[in-house]
Structure 1
Amino acid sequence: MPTTPARPTTTRTTTAAARRRPARALAAAAALSTCLGLLTACGTADDGAKSPAGAVGDRTAGFPVSLTNAWGKTEIPTRPLRVATTSDGDTAIALALGIVPVITPDIEDGDPVAEFKQRAIDKLGAGKLKTYDDTDGTAYEEIAAEDPDVILGMNSWSMQADYTKLTPIAPVVTFTDKKHADTLTWQERLRTAAKALGRTAEAEKVIAANARTTARAAAAHPEFKGKKYTYAVVHPEQISFMSYAAQDPGVFESLGLAKTDKARDYGPDKNAVSLENLDQLDADVLLLTYPFGDKGVLSPAELEGNKLFKSLNAVKNKHFAVVPSENSLATAMAYPDALSAPWVTEELTPILAKAVAGG
């Protein structure tokens, strides 16, 4: 599994925890007015905000819904009102669709909520979300206590262990193939969840709003078109090639960029770049982040002083940029979702513009 900027690992088990709890050490993101645009499809007080999921009307219209997943089949008899989530990515899906989850994993653990997420919560009048401590994994009993109508697990890396324990609680909405935990785009995750929740139209509005945001940014920066990029994260155990071929590109491709040919050599189970192979990082644009500072496998000074690293064309010609780890950008780039995409576009565009311009 690929490693997250917040929780390094080279094993499948601990990476599952990492995806559920991204960016504990990262502070709240800068405010972005355009992030409100993706919430145009969200519920308001007039369309049922009193119910946890924000859904009203005929709950039988369009239901029952049957979804095949990697472990069996999910049957949803009526439109869900009470939605539980098993990862921050699933919480983002719910909020983007105008749904206030009845319970979510506590990924902030006392840290400030990312601004784009807080704006969505505030718009829905949700106050503070009810959470469970997921340090030791999914809290089945706490989820069951909230009596959900459905459980979202479109972004969960622990579904192999969780599925049989969650299904007695409520129908579980998750991916159709186990490898999809790593490879689905946020749009695909959103659409599947929306079908289960009876919110397909809302999902398409969110996707269209995000597409308009990136299209405007791409039009303002025609120099991005055709540029190849690499995004890497310096963890304590390794340097991780995060922009591997099957990884969701998030906003990069919508902005006109493309992954390098070397991306084909990396994947969810193979993303470590050794020091003798630092040339694998070279691209028209190279982005790095150091979420662990001097505690990475190499400190920023050590890596950027490395002879092979300095020989990379991207470094020599100053087409190299460091993504700040003080906010949620590094994690949001690695694990895109419907809620963060407009903010990522706003934050990432100036960094890319400077790196493309180079020396």
Structure 2
Amino acid sequence: MADSVDSVDLADRARGVEHRRAAARARHLSRRSLLAGAVAAGSAALLSACASGGSGTAGSSAAAGNASQRATESFPFTVEHTYGSTTIEAEPTRVAAVSWVDADVVISLGVVPIGMPAVSAGDDGTDAHPWTTEALEALGAGWDTGSAPAVYSAADGVDVEEIAALEPDLILGVHSGMSEKDYQRLSAVAPTLAHPTGAIAYGASWETVTVAVGRALGRSAAAEALVKATTYLVTSTATANPVLSGATYAAAQIDISGPSIALYTTTDSRSQVLGQLGLTPAPAVIAAGVDTEDALSVDLPLEEAEQLNADLLWLQVEDAAAVEAIGDEGRLSRIPAVAAGTALFVTDEVAAMSLAAASPLSLPWCCENHVPEIVAAIEAGRAAATASAAATATAGASAAAS
């Protein structure tokens, strides 16, 4: 392998990836039981929040529990956002979502949207992430029913015509890249909410989005209880996995065609969730400027790739071919976790979106399915670092003795 680390070849990396996946699978059943227990244990702490009408659970259970609730707030009221203010005259009954996160929050609050953007996650040709599908089924609105939402493409931006054709009475783009022009066109169709004042496009946290959407639906109490239940689930997952606490991370996307490295900032949803799980940005990514509120990613010069040292290197890449190409690229191959075969290459779009499109629906899925992979990667990385340090010490001792 030209200009790469001699001690690690592609086979070693493949074995490392498979080892971590096997470890994650071995933890899976016990993790599921633990998470279920954590939610049950936390229900008492949430009773006061739930008493006002919200659900004390997360995910599809929350959606089903909230389905029987109605708006608890009086209309009309006005909501401020980045493009001005919107008045909602009455409880919405035909809600269209501009983004996946907005749709997930609406569904988690027990409301089936009349329209939502389709996704292309996975090879099964489904129009939604698995957590969205599960929650819709819990509401009796599965894709094989007449109650399912209409879907429209988001590949080329906001499809105003498709949304307008559904005749919505509320359009939600709280977690979206809606432009001011989009907002003006959508506002001519129905009352429309854009991202919050002070937040950049796609920069509002899942908690902020949940509260804002809940308010728009007149379901603030349910939204606040949902935030508490989901937060409890995430923190319980962190507590159950002490290796996460204080572990350093670098979350990035590598485009091998450049190549280029884009580090996700602390404003991005991926980093927000990793932080809620107890991880902290690695010194190298802090030095690169990830602690900013003005962007979702910052570029890391390839010349500095070797300095990208962290307990967890979370890399979103296109596919297995890209993983191989990264190992073959001289500068990228010298990233410590790549060289050691312990980088967590995320080629599964569903797993990536469980962080990138964080919501009260995606986070329970993430805790059960993706966090075990994160834990395994951290453990593998630390074991490799310990072995390397021991080897260096042995080599030093041998050299001194000779």
TM tier, smaller: 0.7 to 0.9
Contact 1:279 1:308 in 2 (8 A): yes
Q: Identity percentage over the alignment? A: 26
Q: Which string of whole-angstrom CA distances, capped at 9 and with x for unpartnered residues, describes residues 295-330 of structure 1?
A: xxxx3223224454444444455552222x235011
Q: d(CA) in 2 for partners of 1:136 and 1:96?
A: 26
Structure 1 gaps, min length 5:
1-29, 48-54
Count of matched residue positions in the alignment of Structure 1 and Structure 2: 316
Aligned to 1:117: 132
Q: Bigger radius of gyration, 1 or 2?
A: 2
Query: Once structures 1 and 2 are overlaid, which stretch shifts more, 161-170 or 180-189?
Result: 180-189
Q: d(CA) in 2 for partners of 1:284 and 1:130?
A: 42
Whichever residue aligns with residue 142 of structure 2, its letter is: G
1:184 aligns with 2:204: yes
Whichever residue aligns with residue 271 of structure 1, its letter is: V
SS at match of 2:224: helix
Q: Which string of whole-angstrom CA distances, capped at 9 and with x for unpartnered residues, describes residues 233-284 of structure 1?
A: 2234454434313223343122211122424614627523332221353212
Aligned to 1:288: 315
Of 77, 82, 89, the match for 1:65: 77
In the TM superposition, residue 293 of structure 1 has moved relative to its aligned partner by 4.2
**Alpha carbons of structure 1 residues 114 and 133: separation in structure 2 relative to 1, 3 Å:** closer
Aligned to 1:39: 60
Query: Once structures 1 and 2 are overlaid, which stretch shifts more, 63-72 or 32-41?
Result: 32-41
1:300 aligns with 2:314: no
**Alpha carbons of structure 1 residues 353 and 64: separation in structure 2 relative to 1, 3 Å:** same
The correspondence of residues 77-116 of structure 1 with structure 2, limited to 5 A, is 77-108=89-120, 111-112=125-126, 113-116=128-131
Q: d(CA) in 1 for partners of 2:307 and 2:352?
A: 20
SS at match of 1:322: strand
The correspondence of residues 12-31 of structure 1 with structure 2, limited to 5 A, is none
Q: d(CA) in 2 for partners of 1:308 and 1:108?
A: 32
Aligned to 2:390: none
Contact 1:282 1:313 in 2 (8 A): yes
Aligned to 2:356: 334
Aligned to 1:256: 278
Whichever residue aligns with residue 315 of structure 2, its letter is: L
SS at match of 1:328: helix
The correspondence of residues 240-251 of structure 1 with structure 2, limited to 5 A, is 240-248=261-269, 249-251=271-273
1:278 aligns with 2:308: no
Q: Which string of whole-angstrom CA distances, capped at 9 and with x for unpartnered residues, describes residues 9-45 of structure 1?
A: xxxxxxxxxxxxxxxxxxxxx9989698433442569
Q: d(CA) in 1 for partners of 2:253 and 2:156?
A: 25
Query: Once structures 1 and 2 are overlaid, which stretch shifts more, 143-152 or 185-194?
Result: 143-152
SS at match of 2:277: coil
Q: d(CA) in 2 for partners of 1:312 and 1:142?
A: 45
Structure 2 gaps, min length 5:
1-27, 40-56, 144-148, 385-402
Higher share in helix: 2
Aligned to 1:126: 141
Query: Once structures 1 and 2 are overlaid, which stretch shifts more, 201-210 or 174-183?
Result: 174-183
Q: Please, what is the CA RMSD of the aligned residues? A: 3.0
Q: d(CA) in 1 for partners of 2:311 and 2:218?
A: 43
**Alpha carbons of structure 1 residues 95 and 302: separation in structure 2 relative to 1, 3 Å:** same
Query: Once structures 1 and 2 are overlaid, which stretch shifts more, 309-318 or 153-162?
Result: 309-318
Aligned to 2:22: none
Q: d(CA) in 2 for partners of 1:203 and 1:350?
A: 28
Aligned to 2:43: none
In the TM superposition, residue 181 of structure 1 has moved relative to its aligned partner by 1.5
Q: d(CA) in 1 for partners of 2:218 and 2:307?
A: 44
Aligned to 2:345: 322
SS at match of 1:356: helix
Contact 1:232 1:239 in 2 (8 A): no
**Alpha carbons of structure 1 residues 73 and 330: separation in structure 2 relative to 1, 3 Å:** same
